[in-house]
A and B are shown apart, each in its own frame.
Chain A
Amino acid sequence: AQSVTQLGSHVSVSEGALVLLRCNYSSSVPPYLFWYVQYPNQGLQLLLKYTTGATLVKGINGFEAEFKKSETSFHLTKPSAHMSDAAEYFCAVSGPSGSARQLTFGSGTQLTVLP
């Protein structure tokens, strides 16, 4: 079985400040890790994903995440927050075979950007 824990259901940052959204996962197989963003009344959009290879992954809109196997973490960062980054962010995990291929989501982190 696999699971995702997102620490902090709500995070507030000032415009221009560092964004850090935390994600820890549990998986019995080598994980594939994803970050999705959801704007109000919209579906989820992929920000970035880790499958294999380089552990630092760059995504859209200036976001990046680093896969740390020893810490079972995949935290999302952005050096400078913009007002347009305000949204809900979901971390998700899947795996290479069997039932692990199913995408399992965390409960989400609502990001507020203060002017």
Chain B
Amino acid sequence: EAGVAQSPRYKIIEKRQSVAFWCNPISGHATLYWYQQILGQGPKLLIQFQNNGVVDDSQLPKDRFSAERLKGVDSTLKIQPAKLEDSAVYLCASSLNARGDETQYFGPGTRLLVL
């Protein structure tokens, strides 16, 4: 079974530029998550989708971050404009459903450096 795919793996941009990340979840997984992992910290949920609808985006900085999951499969996360503090690893995860006891499967992440 193929895992969660993410691209690109690394990205370096200057502040105020825009950047987009792509995620393809495990086939059949209805729930998709985007996490931000700052160096030395645990992952923090940014947004959760159930199929193509948003379940939770309470921690997404909506003035600069946006995400979509058209057709309920793959997803993109965009930052525009980027700030220095956005330097982090962006992890995508998926699960069969949104139950709290469900295992989340993580992709390898995209490491973003904002200069």
Contacts and interface: CB of A to CB of B under 8 A. Distances in A.
B103 A46 contact: yes
A90 B42 contact: yes
Interface string B31-69: 001000000111111001000000010000000000000
Nearest to A4: B42
A49 interface: yes
A95 B41 contact: no
Interface in A1-31: 4, 9
A107 B41 contact: yes
Interface of A: 4, 9, 32, 34, 36, 41-46, 49, 51-52, 90, 92, 94-97, 99-103, 105-108
14 contacts: A36-B106, A46-B104, A46-B105, A49-B103, A52-B101, A90-B42, A92-B42, A96-B100, A96-B101, A99-B56, A100-B100, A101-B100, A102-B45, A102-B48
Interface of B: 4, 33, 40-45, 48, 56, 91, 93, 98-101, 103-109, 111
